[in-house]
Structure 1
Amino acid sequence: MTHMPVVDGHNDTLLRLGSTDDPVSAFAEGIGSTHIDLPRAREAGLGVGFFATFVLSDDEHEVRRTDEGYEFPLPEELDHADARSVTYRYLELLHRLDATVDGFRVVDSLDDFDACLESSELGAVPHIEGAAGVAPDLANLDFLYAAGVRSIGPVWSRPNAFGQGVVSRYPGSPDTGDGLTDAGRDLVRACERRGIVVDCAHLTERGFWDVAETSGAPLVASHTGAYSLCPHSRNLTDEQIDAVADADGVVGIGFLEPILADDSDPGADATLSDLVDHIEYVADRAGIDHVVLGSDFDGAPIPDDVGDVTGLPAVFEELRERGFGEDEVSKVAHGNWRRVLAATW
């Protein structure tokens, strides 16, 4: 590892690997169809990533044009048994990578986290994006914890037993529907007791405030942006950013182009400069201690001048060129994530 060690708060690489014939070899040896594999992660200095288990919807997530821009209507709720099966399958893949790929490990403790940042190993924090695979009565939550899950997003952009996800809309407020259900609040409390991060990404604004009122842990939104720069419903308002800072949490800036490009075209390109604008905005508003990276690699289109995981060093170089000091860059790269995980785990 030749670059500053980086923690990336969100990727969907397991989803991409799951569609290959030999996911272990594809990851260990490198595959051009993903944003992340082990060789490129080492080249980029990626020390730890949050590897999401994500269940695709049967119905297509098709864009609908509006008078001012676009929106993606919410897909139907998933069947819990089906979602649980897929979630378990991706966790099995993650542990198979841990067992068979030299230089890769599942991270479920702060010691593991630190060891990866201090070595050339790539660590993977198991994350559940959209908790449809979690039993509504939380009967399998301890099993999931034993399998290494240390981060859960209660919803993706669709409904489930725990709440309703935000409608992906531009322009549009994140206040697109109901918040957490009673089961959702129970999930937040149960995660806090066990030391599992609750990820507010994809929550409606009401859901975000429900988490803030229910949990005493640092608030985390892993892959989002600043609504003041791009009025997309997936982005956080200034009031939400302030709440994250007040809770000593972190806003993870996503690399996904729709939340970076202030444009009514859902296919509009964004740039590295746009991405760093969002980092800078949150740092200026909330303080440098409250902004991190959450790329959404392998889950969304990202700027061409980032490209894939090997573009991470360019993000930090742009920060330096804008006057960020080395200590500040280090906080964005990994220090802020470590502080939040130390307080949560």
Structure 2
Amino acid sequence: MEAHHGNPPVLVFDGHNDTLLKLEMRERAGRGKSFFERSSEDHIDMLRAREGGFAGGLFAMFVPSVQDMQLMRSLGSADPRHYQRLGQEEALSWTLSMTSRALKLETESQGTCRITRSTGEIEAAMAAGQMAMVLHIEGAECIGPDLAALDVLHAAGLRSLGPVWSRRNIFGDGVPMAFPSSPDTGEGLTDLGRQLVRRCNALGIMVDLSHITEKGFWDVAAISDRPLIASHSNAHALCPSARNLTDRQLAAIAESKGLAGVNFHCAFLREDGRPDSNTPLETIVRHAAYLIEKLGEDHVGLGSDFDGCLVPRDIGDVSGLPRLIAAFRKHGFGENLIEKLAWRNWVSVIARSGI
């Protein structure tokens, strides 16, 4: 992938975006747009991705409780309507629509997008200049107690799953968007949740811990035989949001040779927890440096949350990734470390996860 001007940007394989949901919601609202045309809306399209060096990542299939885009944007993050429980039938319908959308993107891309199902496929796609899409479920409401839908979705390309979003489901409890707050906000995994984790281990589906309660985190750590991954969570010591990771959780991720992906959402970055886009890039650098200190330089990546969060103004959208890379350089990060943060560590942890 090459930028339009100057040297090619550093490639980025990113741990989390909600682009499939944004495309789906716009289509349902009669405001559909092509992923392959430049847009001034949302954070990711193919043209801006190329400019930013975005080489792929985990593409989430998240089903919101509030499914009207205008209403969703008008509600504050603490509004209880965001956290209402979903039925499986509704969640599965949305998830299948987003899976179909991803498959159509691959078909329509004329070879520029590829759904990747293994580490080898990710590496091959990146080497060929293709966008490597790894399908991820954020909140497993679409999967019933028999786990049958999990097998079907795995066959379609699913390789990563968060058992819960920030709401309760049959598999466990999620953390609210609370500040200031410990992540110890509720119950952990249910018996079904434990079955789900074991089945994910058996199939080769990563288990993502970014939205789970602290009790749930330790439940997964106790039964999973794979690296612990929090795809888009920051350091609780720097921003005491319930969504961020305590030092003890970071130590467990390090011990498992897992990974934490730095989230770009301003409210998960700032010491004051405010959703303010006037947040300097140095705030992201500070979280990255702290995570490197706690985890080691091989276990930290990026988990932007593009199309699902409020990013710092100086990033703006996916085309702004080179400005973050420049901020890493300014802080003294060397090129080898920057490549690890930008993509190598994600590819490595996916390989260690048996995928």
- Tell me the equivalent position of 1:93: 101
Q: TM-score, normalised by structure 1?
A: 0.94
Distance in 2 between residues matched to 1:79 and 1:194, nearest whole Å: 24
The C-alpha deviation readout for 1:277-312, integer Å capped at 9, x for no partner, is 100110112211111000000001110001111111
Distance in 1 between residues matched to 2:343 and 2:324, nearest whole Å: 13
Please show how residues 163-312 of structure 1 align to structure 2 within 5 Å: 163-263=172-272, 265-267=274-276, 269-312=278-321
Q: TM-score, normalised by structure 2?
A: 0.91
- Tell me the equivalent position of 2:90: 82
Distance in 1 between residues matched to 2:223 and 2:86, nearest whole Å: 25
Distance in 2 between residues matched to 1:23 and 1:6, nearest whole Å: 29
CA 1:149/1:271 → structure 2, altered by over 3 Å: closer, same or farther?
Answer: same
Shift of residue 148 of structure 1?
0.2
- Tell me the equivalent position of 2:65: 57
- Letter of the 1:34 counterpart: D
Where in structure 2 are there 5+ consecutive unaligned residues? 2-7
SS in 1 for 2:178: strand
Which shows bigger deviation, 107-116 or 242-251? Answer: 107-116
SS in 1 for 2:289: helix
Contact 2:171 2:196 in 1 (8 A): yes
Distance in 1 between residues matched to 2:43 and 2:76, nearest whole Å: 24
Structure 1 vs Structure 2 CA RMSD? 1.8
Where in structure 1 are there 5+ consecutive unaligned residues? 65-70
Contact 2:239 2:273 in 1 (8 A): no
Contact 2:241 2:273 in 1 (8 A): no
- Tell me the equivalent position of 1:32: 40
Distance in 1 between residues matched to 2:66 and 2:60, nearest whole Å: 19
SS in 1 for 2:252: helix
Which shows bigger deviation, 135-144 or 214-223? Answer: 135-144
- Greater strand share, structure number: 1
- Letter of the 2:18 counterpart: D
Please show how residues 129-168 of structure 1 align to structure 2 within 5 Å: 129-168=138-177
Shift of residue 269 of structure 1?
3.9
Does structure 1 residue 17 correspond to structure 2 residue 23?
A: yes
Contact 1:49 1:125 in 2 (8 A): yes
- Letter of the 1:39 counterpart: L
Distance in 2 between residues matched to 1:313 and 1:33, nearest whole Å: 19
Contact 2:26 2:33 in 1 (8 A): no
CA 1:72/1:223 → structure 2, altered by over 3 Å: closer, same or farther?
Answer: farther
SS in 2 for 1:20: helix
- Letter of the 1:260 counterpart: L
Distance in 2 between residues matched to 1:25 and 1:121, nearest whole Å: 21
Distance in 2 between residues matched to 1:283 and 1:80, nearest whole Å: 38
SS in 2 for 1:144: helix
Shift of residue 166 of structure 1?
0.4
Shift of residue 273 of structure 1?
1.1
- Letter of the 2:97 counterpart: R
The C-alpha deviation readout for 1:253-277, integer Å capped at 9, x for no partner, is 1001110112154457422111111
SS in 2 for 1:128: strand
Distance in 2 between residues matched to 1:47 and 1:242, nearest whole Å: 29
Distance in 2 between residues matched to 1:264 and 1:50, nearest whole Å: 25
Which shows bigger deviation, 20-29 or 250-259? Answer: 20-29
Work out the number of aligned pairs and report it. 339
Distance in 2 between residues matched to 1:47 and 1:156, nearest whole Å: 26
SS in 1 for 2:64: coil
Contact 1:47 1:123 in 2 (8 A): yes
Contact 1:291 1:336 in 2 (8 A): yes
Distance in 1 between residues matched to 2:329 and 2:127, nearest whole Å: 23
The C-alpha deviation readout for 1:43-97, integer Å capped at 9, x for no partner, is 1111122111111104977548xxxxxx555722101110011000100000000
Contact 2:228 2:259 in 1 (8 A): yes
* Percent of aligned pairs with the same amino acid: 45
Shift of residue 333 of structure 1?
0.9
